[in-house]
Amino acid sequence: MQDRLKEILLKVKKKVFTGNLGNTLTTFKGTGLDFAEIKDYAVGDDVRNINWKSTAKGLGVKVNLFNEERELNIIVAYMVNGSINFGTKRIKQEVMAEIMGFITYSALKNNDYLTTVFYADEAMKVYKPTKNLGILEDTLSFALDLDVLGKKVDYKNFCDFINSRKKQRSLIFVIGDFYDTVDFSSISAKNEVYALIVRDRFEENPSFLGDVSFVDPVSLDEDSVSLDKSSIKEYVKLIKEHDEKLYEHFLEQKIKFGKIYTDDDIYIKISQITRS
């Protein structure tokens, strides 16, 4: 596992250092504005900053000038579910760790405050807001060493947890495979949310037939089933229906989202999702 950790660390630092992901993570700007002065309106000034009280005195159009707080409050949420212990190219758990690594390093390189949360049905581990780059190795180690079998994500509890701890507007990256029912409406209204969906192509389009033994990664129950073309087709249909409802919810809540497969170039996919 140490070799894998070192490999991800090197990849993350190299890609982020030579790219510009830190500057394209979001269109969201910090909302902390410090008032500086009132000045005469000039072409190009934001009309939303017009000081109507001063303007009404008949001395010309006046605008408020602010010192903008550029620092972002970023939350990276790693959703711990038994189903992420799967992958034909790479294990989803590992891919999620690498995604977390890219966002973590990009945020800290950009001098933003970062909070990291590992969440199942409750908070398993919470790293307090920091600008310390040392958090990168700590969180990656935790993600790679985590025993996810038997764990199940409770998205409602997660949203309640976020709302109870974060009062200021934040940029939230939620990383998971999103096979459960999701409702982010309680956090999307006050925050900018990205949903990064990690999947393996095989689990969406399985290609084997015949008798197969399964172990449920959440309940750990074992079962044997016989798969034919008809059952595979029905399974694929159910996955598509689930994802269509998921996307509909994200679009309604103005949540940015994208799917990252275990055989994708992760850095390129994150860049595409954050720029879309």
**Looking at residues 32-54, what average pLDDT do you find?**
72
Do 193 and 263 fall into the same domain? yes
pLDDT at residue 32 in the model? 44
216 neighbors 195 (Cβ within 8 angstroms): no
Say yes or no to pLDDT of 102 above 80: yes
Q: How confident is the model at residue 33 (pLDDT cuts 50, 70, 90)?
A: very low
Q: Which residues contact 274 (CB under 8 A, 6 or more apart)?
A: 21, 24, 25, 26, 194, 256
Do 227 and 93 fall into the same domain? yes
pLDDT at residue 31 in the model? 42
Rounded Cα–Cα distance for residues 195 and 79 (Å): 11
**Looking at residues 42-71, what average pLDDT do you find?**
74
CATH of the domain at 119: 3.40.50.410
**Looking at residues 99-110, what average pLDDT do you find?**
92
Do 101 and 176 fall into the same domain? yes
Do 37 and 89 fall into the same domain? no
**Looking at residues 206-215, what average pLDDT do you find?**
81
Do 51 and 127 fall into the same domain? no
Sheet with 113-119, strands from edge to edge, namely 123-130, 113-119, 73-79, 171-176, 192-199, 256-261
Rounded Cα–Cα distance for residues 62 and 88 (Å): 62
Do 43 and 177 fall into the same domain? no
Do 106 and 155 fall into the same domain? yes
Do 142 and 231 fall into the same domain? yes
Please give the model's pTM, rounded to 2 decimal places.
0.82
190 by Cβ neighbours in 10 Å (0-12 / 13-18 / 19+) ranks as middle
Say yes or no to pLDDT of 254 above 60: yes
Helix (H) or strand (E) holding 62: strand 62-68
Say yes or no to pLDDT of 110 above 70: yes
269 or 32: which leads in pLDDT: 269
Long-range own/partner contacts, residues 164-170 (CB < 8 A, 24 or more apart):
166/73, 166/75, 166/115, 166/191, 168/31, 168/32, 168/73, 169/28, 169/31, 169/73, 170/72, 170/73, 170/74, 170/75, 170/115
* Nearest alpha carbon to residue 119 among 157, 79, 82: 79
The single-letter DSSP state of residue 123 is: E
Say yes or no to pLDDT of 70 above 60: no
Q: Which residues pair with 113 in a beta bridge?
A: 73
Helix (H) or strand (E) holding 275: helix 266-275
b/e per residue, 59-89, with b = 16+ CB within 10 A? Answer: eeebbbeeeeeeebbbbbbbbbbbbbbbbee
pLDDT in tens, 231-252: 899 999 999 999 999 999 999 9
- Provide the number of structural domains found in the chain: 2
Average pLDDT, the chain: 87
Picking from 15, 45, 68, the residue at the C-terminal end of a domain is 68
pLDDT at residue 19 in the model? 63
**Looking at residues 59-78, what average pLDDT do you find?**
77
Do 164 and 48 fall into the same domain? no
Q: How confident is the model at residue 160 (pLDDT cuts 50, 70, 90)?
A: very high
Say yes or no to pLDDT of 69 above 60: no
Do 64 and 75 fall into the same domain? no
pLDDT at residue 40 in the model? 86
Q: Tell me the angle at which helices 135-145 and 2-18 cross, rounded to the nearest 10 degrees.
A: 130
| Percent over 70 (pLDDT), the chain | 89
Do 11 and 56 fall into the same domain? no
Say yes or no to pLDDT of 28 above 60: no
Do 78 and 39 fall into the same domain? no
Let me know the angle formed at the C-alpha of 78 by 159 and 21, rounded to the nearest 5 degrees.
105
* Nearest alpha carbon to residue 85 among 140, 159, 162, 148: 148
Say yes or no to pLDDT of 20 above 80: no
Say yes or no to pLDDT of 226 above 60: yes
Q: Which domain holds residue 112?
A: 2-26+71-275
